[in-house]
Amino acid sequence: MDSKSQHQMKRSLREAFEYRGCLICQVLDREESDFMATLQYQAFKEEKVRQDVVLANGYCNFHFHQMARMASPTGMAILTKELIDVEIKEIERDSFGEALRVDCPVCKYVGEREESCIKEFRDFLSEKSFQKEYEATDGLCRIHLKRVLNMLEQSELHQFILASHLMHLKLLKVQLETFISKGRSTRDFKEEKDSWWVAIEKMAGKKGLKVF
Ligand SMILES: [Zn+2]
Ligand SMILES: [Zn+2]
């Protein structure tokens, strides 16, 4: 990763401090949306970009449906028509099967960005000021926690990240208890208002996160 995108990634991580949920999931979610917004537009307007999507056999289930929410129906009609053209040709040439292999460009992009984000997060961790700010967030989901821990091996940072995770879990548990005890009286909700979805993300990562 060049220093410019490294700088951007650091900035994105800092910006994620302001939001609830896993920091890395938050950065990825934003980058994924931006990438899809650009891609759906380009795939509609530019033949070359659309051909690349067709060559990849379209998108995976999750991203196809996400794309459909962003793109125009006409854009989706043009793309799916071209995918159908390929599939018809495959069947006529008796080489059907290739068309079913999807190499989703969004998954590919998000996977690369996830790798960079985890590395950047790990480098950031050695800064004391970052540690302090990190403690005040919701921390990481358990998928990203594992990925970061694998990079740290047994070290002081390893202990720090595990101790913070324990603290984040305990705080979230208290919020969940408050949320449950308030039941339907949503009027005086405070930070526990979002605790249920923060907890889902903590367990499973963001919506559509690929876990290998
Ligand atoms: Zn995460
Ligand atoms: Zn995908």
Q: What is the pLDDT of residues 177-189, one digit of tens each?
A: 999 988 776 667 7
The reply to whether 159 falls in a domain is: yes
Residue 110: predicted pLDDT:
96
Smallest-distance ligand from the CA of 64: 2
In-domain check, residue 209: no
Nearest ligand, measured from the Cα of 137: 1
Domain boundaries, position 98:
3-204
Give the count of domains, the chain.
1
In a domain, 38, yes or no: yes
pLDDT tens-digit map of 45-54: 999 999 999 9
Question: Would 62 be classed as within a structural domain?
Answer: yes
Is 114 contained in some domain? yes
3-state secondary structure at position 127: coil
Can you read off the two tokens belonging to residue 23? 């920091």
Q: Pick the ligand that lies closest to the CA of residue 61.
A: 2
Rounded CA-CA distance 153/188 in Å is: 43
Q: Is the pLDDT of residue 8 over 90?
A: no
Using one digit for the tens of pLDDT, what is the confidence trace for 79-102?
Answer: 999 999 999 998 898 887 765 789
**90: CA distance to ligand 2 center in Å?**
23
CA of residue 122 to ligand 2 center, whole Å: 26
Please indicate, yes or no, if residue 123 is contained in any of the structural domains: yes
Range in 39-48, 86-95, 141-150 the model is least confident about: 86-95
Q: What distance in angstroms lies between residue 15's CA and the mean position of ligand 2's atoms?
A: 25
Task: Please indicate, yes or no, if residue 211 is contained in any of the structural domains.
Answer: no
